[in-house]
């Protein structure tokens, strides 16, 4: 436990008291905090564990954060009403500074927090919406393949997960890299007919999902895609290089969508593999009310 009397210089104490005075705190207020420890304990608990103003979260997360200001700066988007609706960041300082349940690092160092949007201007921010918004992002290209006529296409152009699903107007906190990767390879399973591979993939996915801590869930493909794009936009690093993550969406063929970065291309796949080397995306659930 820290001894604040010894650690905080008098100048900081005076500056803090001056700020509290400007905010309406009186000497009587401070006296009540000293003589009523249960009130003080509740106040401190609320500060550390409850929702926090998003600018405080940015200070803690550093580059692993993409909020209203970043949306406005990079994409000239965030209306005033939206700003008011998403001021509070739902996870407390205790969560961001705790050990990650998935990898053991500090949460603020291995997670990326971002404000989800459902549209930019009047355009829905689906996966196809992202593709039209920025078909390239500096050194990062994504989403595309070529057909037999060398015309640029996307295999998922008519898939619901890419054309209908959007992130909600809320905060997200995702593990930066895929987790629970299966590194085993079974040649017999790889040679199974498509309908049997589908069953095997579903079983492997369910096993990975069951191993996630209760505080986490597997997000949609648009959520994982948005995270990857914003991580690169903010850090200019390929954090998921050569790593793939299954998401919760299922394609029209019956396989789970996987998202990852291969060289300098963000890839969205319908692999039909048996999970070899593929992990799952992991999103922190919103705290219970």
Give the tokens for residue 188: 């017999």
The span from the CA of 18 to the CA of 228, in Å, is 42
189-192 own/partner pairs: CB under 8 Å, 24+ apart: 189/274, 190/273, 190/274, 190/276, 192/274
Of the candidates 77, 257, 52, 259, the one whose C-alpha atom is nearest the C-alpha of residue 171 is 52
H-type alpha helices, 134-270:
160-163, 187-190, 194-211, 221-235
Rg of the chain over all Cα atoms, to the nearest angstrom:
23
Please state the φ and ψ torsions of residue 246, each to the nearest 5 degrees.
Answer: -70, 145
How many CB atoms lie under 10 A from the CB of residue 192? 16
Name beta bridge partners: 53: 88
d(CA 137, CA 130): 11
Structure confidence at residue 150 (pLDDT): 40
- pLDDT for residue 15: 76
Host H or E run for residue 259: strand 256-262
Laid out side by side, the sheet with 256-262 consists of 136-137, 140-142, 265-269, 256-262, 243-250, 278-280
In degrees, rounded to 5, the angle at the alpha carbon of residue 218 between the alpha carbons of residues 216 and 221 is 145
pTM: 0.76
Query: Which position has the token pair 């997200």?
Result: 172
Pairing of strands 171-175, 123-124: unpaired
In the chain, % helix, strand, coil (3-state, to 5) comes to 40, 20, 40
Q: Which residue has the tokens 């593929």?
A: 278
Report the C-alpha gap between 217 and 184 in whole angstroms: 23
pLDDT at 2: 60
pLDDT tens for the 289 residues of the chain, in order? 567 677 778 787 677 677 667 767 788 777 777 787 776 666 655 555 555 677 888 989 999 999 988 888 888 766 655 655 666 889 988 899 999 999 999 999 999 999 999 988 888 999 999 888 876 566 666 655 544 444 456 788 899 999 999 999 899 999 999 998 765 544 555 555 566 567 777 777 888 889 999 999 999 999 999 999 999 888 887 776 678 899 999 999 888 899 988 777 788 887 655 445 788 999 999 998 5
Query: Which residue in 183, 172, 255 sits closest to 216, CA to CA?
Result: 172
Q: Which of 105, 125, 108, 128 minimizes the C-alpha distance to 116?
A: 125
Predicted local confidence at residue 47, as pLDDT: 56
Name 108's Cβ contacts closer than 8 Å, sequence gap at least 6. 60, 61, 62, 64, 96, 97
Write down the domain spans for the chain: 1-35, 36-284
The Cα–Cα gap between 101 and 282 comes to 11
Distance CA 154, CA 257 (A): 14
Residue 120 pairs in a beta bridge with 123
């Amino acid at each position: 436990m820290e001894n604040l009397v010894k650690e905080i210089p008098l100048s900081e104490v005076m500056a803090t008291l001056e700020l509290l005075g400007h905010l309406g705190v009186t000497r009587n207020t401070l006296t009540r905090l000293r003589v009523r420890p249960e009130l003080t304990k509740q106040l401190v608990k609320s500060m550390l564990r409850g929702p926090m103003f998003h600018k405080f979260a940015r200070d803690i997360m550093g580059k692993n954060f993409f909020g209203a200001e970043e949306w406005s700066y990079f994409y000239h988007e965030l209306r005033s009403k939206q700003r008011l609706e998403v001021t509070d960041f739902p996870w407390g300082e205790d969560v961001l500074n705790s050990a990650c349940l998935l990898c053991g690092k500090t949460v603020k160092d291995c997670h990326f927090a971002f404000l989800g949007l459902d549209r930019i201007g009047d355009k829905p921010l689906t996966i196809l919406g992202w593709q039209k918004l920025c078909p390239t992002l500096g050194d990062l290209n994504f989403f595309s393949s070529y057909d037999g006529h060398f015309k640029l296409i996307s295999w998922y152009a008519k898939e619901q997960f890419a054309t209908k699903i959007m992130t909600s107007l809320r905060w997200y906190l995702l593990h930066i890299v895929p987790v629970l990767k299966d590194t085993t390879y079974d040649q017999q399973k790889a040679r199974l007919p498509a309908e049997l591979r589908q069953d095997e993939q579903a079983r492997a996915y369910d096993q990975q999902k069951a191993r996630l801590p209760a505080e986490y869930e597997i997000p949609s493909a648009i959520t994982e895609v948005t995270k990857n794009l914003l991580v690169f936009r903010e850090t200019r690093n390929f954090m998921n290089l050569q790593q793939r993550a299954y998401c919760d969406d299922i394609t029209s063929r019956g396989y789970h969508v996987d998202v990852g970065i291969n060289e300098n291309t963000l890839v969205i796949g319908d692999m039909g593999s048996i999970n070899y080397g593929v992990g799952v995306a992991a999103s922190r659930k919103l705290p219970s009310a």
